[in-house]
Amino acid sequence: MPTCSSEQLLEKNVASQWIAMHEYIWSPQNPFYLCLEVNYTKISAAVSLFDLCSTDDTQKVLCLVLEAYAAACQNAQIQIGEWRNGTFCLFPPILLILIRSIICFLPTEWPL
């Protein structure tokens, strides 16, 4: 199994980004706060520090985790606020419409 060196972890600031994502999710001021119980552990466990270290675009990986979490929340009928903005996890409007229409078909339980 490939690993990241401590130098790579430091260079890419992986631990800080991982911690920042979790702090964001658990903050009462974020749009996901009402949805903390919904599959968060399974979804956040899907991406590891290695995933962040081995990519050239850690922001994209973190955004993919948040996208999966947002879909799980919406699938559980929990409304979340807008979490994308002009500088964080940009998303083309047409793709946003497509994802929102696909959410209806997601399973209620995510397999382990």
Q: Is residue 111 assigned to a domain?
A: no
pLDDT, one tens digit per residue, over 54-101 is 777 777 777 887 888 888 888 888 888 888 876 777 755 555 555 555
pLDDT, one tens digit per residue, over 28-54 is 888 888 887 776 666 666 566 667 777
Into how many domains does the chain fold? 1
Q: How many CB atoms lie within 10 A of CB 93?
A: 7
Q: Is residue 97 assigned to a domain?
A: yes
Joined together, the tokens standing for residue 110 give 């995510």
Q: Is residue 20 assigned to a domain?
A: yes
Q: Is residue 11 assigned to a domain?
A: yes
Q: Is residue 96 assigned to a domain?
A: yes
Give the percent of the chain with pLDDT over 90: 0
Range of the domain at 38: 6-105
> Burial, 50: exposed, middle or buried (Cβ in 10 Å; 0-12, 13-18, 19+)?
middle
Q: What are phi and psi of 12, to 5 degrees?
A: -90, 0
